[in-house]
């Protein structure tokens, strides 16, 4: 691939910033096997183009992007905030290596703001400002009509009207890529998907990071941390399947029907393990099917040997994949779930047979059977004889010449006979050394090689060498191979031209295979862990849930419940350090995320709402690039969350305002909590400010939970261990702060004074709390009543036995506590 610096696009007015050692991805992607699928290497080179609305259309963004491996164009049109938060998220999903921005002379200032926003999320990408004239909406619409695959049912863009901006971005992007990459897009060959306000769940980069969904830093640091992606991707077999998984995790579904359809397919596959196994065996043969698309879409101006070879290999590969389709056609109807059924139907498309017969008329069927381990000569011959005999006279002549040369070479044994008679020397071939002599001998290091031989390489039990005579032969053979390739390419070009009108079905086929692979990976995950299919309702009800990344077979993990309903939707969690507070917030978030991609979740039972947005904020994350103090960064993050939080948002806040003074921290936390309650979102909020626990007295929505340590007796006295178990109610201390201070060897009298002060403060807090006790008790009863009401209001299917048991247990708790208190009162009387 050419870099932008070697070929300059005539419309680039300024290269605004270029990625620091930007990794060029993609080349490896097609070679990736399932063992090395990571979030970064399933990405292929994506180019993006951005056009911003002006005057009346201010705030409107048009974004076009293409993935050069899958040749998938995506056009986005949306209204964005002044901080470009939607654009930033979308760019983070796409991870482009090059971005072009419209450069209009009169708008330099706002361009700079946009550029800054883009750079903040794509610091590895090359960003160039391209002249305004290339961003032409009308031209974009014309291109759209001529380039899109003919039978593309996506007709939304027939009326360009309000899509002007993304069509303009599309026009500039097509021209830019054609220039920079040196090919033309063949007409009627590409798939263009238009995304309007999609029915997806929105997450931001910080939430991906907090929940460890993907690891965006791994490429920079050269190591992969375990992530939710890597955990499930280990079950995928194709690059396209892993890519679909990544996209689903970053932008989960928010449509109950779609999610349900996936989960249903997963459940069915779980019940039919033998069919699953067979499907996976077939998928393993289709590892990089999508690399066929660039071959069909790109039209090069000049022929080269390497491109010719590549095209031949890809067509052979496509033919092999079509063999697999036949087997899938028989296998898939054994599944009844609608999603697999629909996908199986796409395999019956006549156009697949049309492509197959074009390939059968072109390719030599003998080379198709050359699978598995091939030596260099087999691999080369597969390309040389890939095209059927009799299709092109010049090709047949060229191959004849090649064969003659080989015959001459093998017959010409004079050189060896004269110089090394009676030795075990033979002619060998390798892709890098071409034809050479191989002498097998135990004395490889000592034997003398006559002076007319050159390029001697000694190995342990053999040595290889060449001669001027042999090198001349190699030159002639290579020339004749080039001839064969170039002649083959003419036949291949005809075949590709014939396939192109049917290209749409290849996009569909790739979708089918990747969806199948993705679903199989979810099944593999569900089989390997103790998981359950979640149901959907109005509340978060998780029984014995586990954080997926701690949930490793053979390692102990403490399961915890979660219970958030519309009327009791704010879980305030307190507890000492290392108790498991952060892990718990992640657990709730990642179970919701998994459920929304259609996966099973690690729990005994789970009923979850479908969120439109999952946001999180973790204290003490320094965003050095923005040069903000931790506190300011936290507040910016919270402001972003608050701007869009509503009743269909899940918010996780972990240790807010740690890096400011206690009074300020508590004050800010109060204000933010009140706002979150006002906005009716579901919240898991952890804090070490015990004062916040009193909020449940003022707000019915707030419920206190805590992690308490476990007391263990040792010979030296009591030791506190974290139990990682969540309890109802607020934490009453201790926070282990003193233990840590003691370890840090602070002077004993000072520590004693601190303990006394802390105890006094704690007593004051306790007596305040007792005054509120009665109010809280009434609230608890009301809460249980609400829980019952919520449960009754839920759709029938989602009311599980687990939900009922949970609420019953709570009622009994409350009733028991009440009885105990009444008995105490009676005794006193």
Contact residues for Mg ion (CB under 5 A)?
Answer: 582
97 — phi, psi (to 5°)?
A: -95, -25
> What is the nearest approach in angstroms of Mg ion to the Cβ of residue 221?
23
Among Mg ion, ligand ADP, none, partner that 189 touches (CB below 5 to 8 angstroms by kind) = none
**Binding status of residue 724 toward ligand ADP by CB under 6 A:** yes
Q: Name the CA radius of gyration of the chain, rounded.
A: 33
Among Mg ion, ligand ADP, none, partner that 83 touches (CB below 5 to 8 angstroms by kind) = none
The nearer residue to Mg ion, 539 or 582, going by C-beta atoms, is 582
> What is the nearest approach in angstroms of ligand ADP to the Cβ of residue 38?
22
> What is the nearest approach in angstroms of ligand ADP to the Cβ of residue 212?
12
**Binding status of residue 552 toward ligand ADP by CB under 6 A:** no
The nearer residue to ligand ADP, 139 or 581, going by C-beta atoms, is 581
Among ligand ADP, Mg ion, none, partner that 583 touches (CB below 5 to 8 angstroms by kind) = ligand ADP
Size, binding site for ligand ADP by CB under 6 A:
13
* Nearest-CB residue for ligand ADP: 580
Helical H segments across 122-254, by residue range? 137-147, 164-181, 205-210, 218-221, 228-233, 239-250
Residue 705, both tokens = 């939970």
Among Mg ion, ligand ADP, none, partner that 444 touches (CB below 5 to 8 angstroms by kind) = none
Q: Which residues of 634-648 are buried (b: 16+ CB within 10 A; e: fewer)?
A: bbebbebbbebbeee
Q: Is 53 helix (H, G, I), strand (E, B) or coil?
A: coil
d(CA 617, CA 672): 12
The nearer residue to Mg ion, 89 or 582, going by C-beta atoms, is 582
**Binding status of residue 212 toward ligand ADP by CB under 6 A:** no
User: For residues 240 and 513, is the Cβ–Cβ distance under 8 A?
Assistant: yes
Question: Which residue from 220, 646, 648, 626 is spatially nearest to 637, judged by alpha carbons?
Answer: 626
Stretch that binds ligand ADP, among 7-15, 202-210, 295-303, 570-578 (CB under 6 A): 570-578
Question: Which residue from 506, 633, 650 is spatially nearest to 586, judged by alpha carbons?
Answer: 650
Among ligand ADP, Mg ion, none, partner that 557 touches (CB below 5 to 8 angstroms by kind) = ligand ADP
Among Mg ion, ligand ADP, none, partner that 751 touches (CB below 5 to 8 angstroms by kind) = none
User: For residues 669 and 617, is the Cβ–Cβ distance under 8 A?
Assistant: no
Provide the mask over 610-649, with x wherever binding to ligand ADP is found by CB under 6 A and - wherever it is not: ----------------------------------------
> What is the nearest approach in angstroms of ligand ADP to the Cβ of residue 552?
10
Q: Alpha carbon of 331 to those of 147, 260, 320, 325, 433: distances in Å?
A: 35, 23, 17, 10, 45
Taking CB under 6 A as the criterion, the residue among 48, 130, 579, 650 binding ligand ADP is 579
> What is the nearest approach in angstroms of ligand ADP to the Cβ of residue 733?
14
User: For residues 590 and 226, is the Cβ–Cβ distance under 8 A?
Assistant: no
The nearer residue to ligand ADP, 238 or 560, going by C-beta atoms, is 560
Q: Per-residue DSSP letters for 383-435?
A: HHT-BPTTS-HHHHHHHHHHHHHHHHHHH--HHHHHHSTTS-EEEEEETTTEE
Taking CB under 6 A as the criterion, the residue among 141, 148, 163, 581 binding ligand ADP is 581
Strand order through the sheet with 434-440: 425-430, 434-440, 462-467, 453-458
d(CA 583, CA 550): 9
Among Mg ion, ligand ADP, none, partner that 305 touches (CB below 5 to 8 angstroms by kind) = none
Stretch that binds ligand ADP, among 53-61, 485-493, 581-589, 603-611 (CB under 6 A): 581-589
d(CA 110, CA 123): 19
Provide the mask over 513-532, with x wherever binding to ligand ADP is found by CB under 6 A and - wherever it is not: --------------------
> What is the nearest approach in angstroms of ligand ADP to the Cβ of residue 522?
23
Q: Alpha carbon of 20 to those of 119, 122, 126, 224, 433: distances in Å?
A: 12, 11, 9, 20, 36
The nearer residue to ligand ADP, 550 or 668, going by C-beta atoms, is 550
**Binding status of residue 577 toward ligand ADP by CB under 6 A:** yes
**711 CB burial (10 A radius; 0-12, 13-18, 19+):** exposed
d(CA 311, CA 783): 67
Q: Is 54 helix (H, G, I), strand (E, B) or coil?
A: coil
CA angle 626, 627, 631 (to 5 degrees): 100
Taking CB under 6 A as the criterion, the residue among 377, 557, 628, 632 binding ligand ADP is 557
Q: Per-residue DSSP letters for 626-669?
A: GT--HHHHHHHHHHHHHHH--TTEEEEEESTTTTS-HHHHHHHH
The nearer residue to Mg ion, 321 or 582, going by C-beta atoms, is 582
The nearer residue to Mg ion, 467 or 582, going by C-beta atoms, is 582
760-789: contacts with ligand ADP (CB under 6 A): none
The nearer residue to Mg ion, 4 or 582, going by C-beta atoms, is 582
Among ligand ADP, Mg ion, none, partner that 270 touches (CB below 5 to 8 angstroms by kind) = none
> What is the nearest approach in angstroms of ligand ADP to the Cβ of residue 544?
11
d(CA 189, CA 526): 38
Residue 14: partners with Cβ closer than 8 Å, 6 or more residues away = 103, 128, 129
Residue 502, both tokens = 């049917």
Q: Per-residue DSSP letters for 451-494?
A: TTEEEEEE-SSEEEEEEHHHHHHHHHHHHHHHHHHHHHHHHHHH
The nearer residue to ligand ADP, 511 or 530, going by C-beta atoms, is 530
* Nearest-CB residue for Mg ion: 582
Residue 446, both tokens = 């000592």
The nearer residue to Mg ion, 662 or 781, going by C-beta atoms, is 662
Where do we find the tokens 């830019």? Answer: 176
> What is the nearest approach in angstroms of ligand ADP to the Cβ of residue 745?
23
Residues for the chain: how many in total? 829
> What is the nearest approach in angstroms of ligand ADP to the Cβ of residue 738?
17
73 — phi, psi (to 5°)?
A: -95, 140
**Binding status of residue 550 toward ligand ADP by CB under 6 A:** yes
> What is the nearest approach in angstroms of ligand ADP to the Cβ of residue 721?
11
Among Mg ion, ligand ADP, none, partner that 550 touches (CB below 5 to 8 angstroms by kind) = ligand ADP
> What is the nearest approach in angstroms of Mg ion to the Cβ of residue 581?
5
Taking CB under 6 A as the criterion, the residue among 578, 754, 799, 814 binding ligand ADP is 578
The nearer residue to ligand ADP, 226 or 389, going by C-beta atoms, is 226
Taking CB under 6 A as the criterion, the residue among 90, 582, 687, 694 binding ligand ADP is 582
* Residue 3 DSSP class: -
Taking CB under 6 A as the criterion, the residue among 86, 466, 515, 583 binding ligand ADP is 583
> What is the nearest approach in angstroms of ligand ADP to the Cβ of residue 555?
8
Residue 333, both tokens = 């109807």
Among ligand ADP, Mg ion, none, partner that 724 touches (CB below 5 to 8 angstroms by kind) = ligand ADP
**Binding status of residue 672 toward ligand ADP by CB under 6 A:** no
> Where are the strands (E) in 540-646, listed by range?
540-545, 560-564, 570-574, 605-608, 613-618
The nearer residue to ligand ADP, 154 or 577, going by C-beta atoms, is 577
**Binding status of residue 558 toward ligand ADP by CB under 6 A:** yes
Among Mg ion, ligand ADP, none, partner that 89 touches (CB below 5 to 8 angstroms by kind) = none
Stretch that binds ligand ADP, among 15-23, 248-256, 574-582, 814-822 (CB under 6 A): 574-582
Question: Which residue from 802, 819, 223 is spatially nearest to 532, judged by alpha carbons?
Answer: 802
Where do contacts with ligand ADP occur on this chain (CB under 6 A)?
A: 550, 557-558, 560, 575, 577-583, 724
């Amino acid at each position: 691939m050419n870099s932008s610096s070697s070929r300059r696009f005539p419309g680039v007015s300024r290269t605004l910033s270029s990625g620091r050692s930007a990794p060029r991805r993609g080349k490896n992607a097609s070679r990736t096997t399932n063992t090395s699928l990571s979030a970064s290497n399933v990405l292929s080179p994506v180019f993006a183009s951005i056009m911003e609305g002006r005057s009346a259309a201010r705030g409107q963004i048009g974004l076009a992007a293409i993935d050069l491996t899958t040749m998938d164009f995506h056009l986005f049109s949306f209204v964005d905030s002044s901080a470009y938060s939607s654009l930033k998220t979308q760019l983070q999903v796409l991870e482009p290596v090059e971005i072009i921005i419209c450069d209009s002379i009169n708008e330099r200032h706002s361009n700079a703001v946009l550029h800054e926003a883009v750079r903040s999320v794509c610091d590895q990408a090359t960003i160039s400002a391209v002249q305004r004239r290339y961003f032409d909406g009308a031209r974009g619409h014309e291109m759209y009509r001529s380039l899109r695959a003919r039978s593309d049912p996506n007709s939304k863009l027939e009326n360009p009207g309000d899509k002007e901006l993304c069509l303009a971005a599309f026009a500039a992007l097509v021209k830019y890529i054609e220039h920079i990459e040196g090919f033309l897009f063949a007409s009627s060959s590409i798939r263009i998907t238009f995304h309007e306000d999609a029915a997806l769940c929105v997450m931001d980069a910080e939430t991906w990071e907090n929940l460890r969904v993907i690891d965006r830093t791994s490429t920079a640091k050269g190591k992969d941390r375990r992530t939710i992606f890597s955990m499930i991707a280990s079950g995928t077999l194709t690059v396209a399947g892993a890519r679909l998984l990544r996209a689903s995790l970053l932008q989960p579904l928010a449509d109950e029907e779609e999610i349900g359809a996936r989960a249903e397919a997963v459940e069915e596959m779980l019940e039919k393990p033998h069919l699953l196994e067979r499907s996976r065996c077939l998928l393993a043969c289709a590892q990089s099917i999508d690399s066929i698309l660039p071959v069909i879409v790109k039209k090069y101006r000049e022929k080269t040997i390497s491109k010719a070879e590549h095209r031949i290999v890809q067509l052979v590969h496509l033919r092999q994949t079509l063999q697999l389709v036949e087997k899938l056609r028989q296998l898939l109807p054994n599944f009844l779930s609608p999603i697999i059924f629909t996908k199986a139907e796409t395999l019956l498309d006549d156009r697949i047979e049309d492509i197959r017969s074009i390939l059968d008329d072109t390719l030599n069927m003998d080379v198709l059977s050359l699978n598995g381990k091939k030596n260099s000569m087999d691999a080369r011959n597969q390309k040389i004889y890939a095209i059927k005999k009799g299709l092109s006279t010049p090709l047949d002549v060229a191959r004849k010449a090649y064969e003659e040369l080989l015959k001459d070479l093998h017959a010409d044994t004079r050189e060896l006979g004269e110089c090394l008679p009676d030795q075990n020397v033979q002619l060998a071939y390798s892709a890098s050394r071409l034809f050479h002599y191989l002498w097998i001998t135990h004395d490889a290091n000592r034997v003398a090689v006559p002076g007319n031989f050159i390029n001697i390489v000694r190995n342990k039990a053999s040595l290889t060498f060449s001669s001027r005579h042999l090198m001349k032969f190699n030159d002639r053979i290579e020339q004749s191979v080039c001839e064969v390739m170039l002649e083959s390419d003419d036949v291949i070009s005809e075949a590709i031209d014939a396939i192109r009108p049917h290209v749409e079905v290849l996009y569909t086929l790739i979708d089918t295979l990747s969806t199948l692979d993705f679903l199989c990976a979810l099944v593999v995950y569900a089989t390997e862990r103790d998981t359950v299919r979640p149901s959907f309702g109005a509340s978060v009800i998780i029984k014995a849930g586990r954080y997926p990344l701690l949930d490793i077979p053979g390692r102990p993990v403490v399961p915890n419940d979660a219970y958030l309903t519309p009327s009791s939707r704010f879980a305030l969690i307190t507890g000492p350090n290392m108790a498991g507070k952060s892990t718990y917030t992640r657990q709730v978030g990642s179970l919701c995320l998994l459920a929304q991609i259609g996966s099973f979740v690690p729990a005994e039972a789970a009923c979850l709402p479908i969120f439109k947005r999952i946001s999180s904020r973790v204290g003490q994350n320094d965003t050095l690039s923005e040069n903000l103090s931790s506190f300011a960064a936290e507040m910016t993050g919270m402001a972003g969350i608050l701007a869009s939080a509503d009743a269909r948002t899940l918010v996780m806040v972990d240790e807010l305002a740690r890096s400011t003074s206690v009074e300020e921290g508590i004050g800010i936390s109060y204000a933010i909590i009140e706002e979150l309650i006002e906005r009716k979102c579901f919240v898991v909020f952890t804090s070490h400010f015990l004062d916040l626990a009193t909020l449940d007295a003022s707000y019915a929505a707030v419920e206190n939970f805590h992690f308490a340590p476990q007391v263990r007796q040792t010979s030296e006295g009591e030791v506190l261990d974290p139990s990682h178990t969540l309890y109802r109610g607020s934490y009453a201390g201790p926070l282990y702060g003193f233990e840590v201070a003691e370890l840090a060897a602070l002077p004993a009298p000072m520590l004693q004074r601190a303990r006394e002060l802390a105890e006094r403060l704690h007593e004051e807090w306790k007596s305040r709390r007792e005054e509120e006790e009665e109010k809280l008790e009434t609230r608890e009863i009301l809460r249980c009543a609400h829980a019952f009401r919520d449960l009754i209001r839920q759709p029938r299917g989602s009311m599980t036995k687990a939900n009922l048991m949970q609420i019953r247990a709570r009622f009994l708790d409350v009733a028991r506590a009440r009885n105990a208190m009444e008995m105490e009162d009676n005794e006193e009387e």
